[in-house]
A and B are shown apart, each in its own frame.
Chain A
Amino acid sequence: EVQLVESGGGLVQPGRSLRVSCVGTGFTFEEYAMHWVRQAPGKGLEWVSGIGWSSGNIGYADSVKGRFTISRDNAKNSLYLQMNSLRTEDTALYFCTRSVVISGPGQYFNFWGQGTLVTVSS
């Protein structure tokens, strides 16, 4: 059974850093691109960042570019998101999700974790 389990969320002050993690089990982690998607309380979904299976092809939303860094460790079946210079508007539930590439730019997110809550507040 495919499982994605996020961890590392919590309360952090504005301007500080936090790293959230995601462990994937039940599938060959190194064969899949992975993404982070967040959802602010009561709001919609926002794609944050994605990384290819070999750590190539990395992308970021404009709202986090230069502050967040995505990475992965295939030996540990783990995905990470290092979040620096956090702002109150980064408060959200952060989901880890697995991507399946169809063809060309086509891909879809077919498995999601339950999320880890990051709260940025003084």
Chain B
Amino acid sequence: DIQMTQSPSSLSASVGDRVTIACRASQTISTYLNWYQQKPGKAPKLLIYFASSLQSGVPSRFSGGGSGTDFTLTISGLQAEDFATYFCQQTYSAPLTFGGGTMVEIK
């Protein structure tokens, strides 16, 4: 099974900050990597698919990059509504696997 490791597991940031979350796969997954945002008590929401494609309706301050085993999610200019937990997911091979999550908290 492909293991997905996110770092950091949590971070504190201020409104307006640039934030970068990392996700590493235990083996190459090309660009078959998605990012989701989840707020407390809510279902996850798709942000980025295929490593760098922005889902329709998602603000352009969100961007994704990487290929192979190393990926990043960047939020350029953190907004109040961005405080949430972020998960990466690989779909290269079954079982599909998620990273452990990164909680973005208000500093």
Contact = CB atoms under 8 A, between A and B. Distances in A.
A39 B68 CA distance: 27
B32 interface: yes
Given A44-B100, A44-B101, A109 B95 contact: no
Contacts of A105: 32, 91-93
Contacts of A54: none
Contact of A47 (B31, B46, B49, B96): B96
B90 to A, nearest CB: 9
Contacts of B36: 45, 109
Interface residues of A, number: 24
Interface stretch (A22-30, A59-67, A78-86): A59-67
A108 B91 contact: yes
A68 interface: no
Given A105-B93, A106-B32, A108-B34, A46 B98 contact: yes
A45 B90 CA distance: 12
Contacts of A122: none
5 A-B pairs with the lowest CB-CB distances in the bound complex, closest first? A112-B43, A108-B49, A59-B94, A47-B96, A45-B98
Interface of A: 35, 37, 44-47, 50, 59-62, 95, 102, 104-110, 112-115
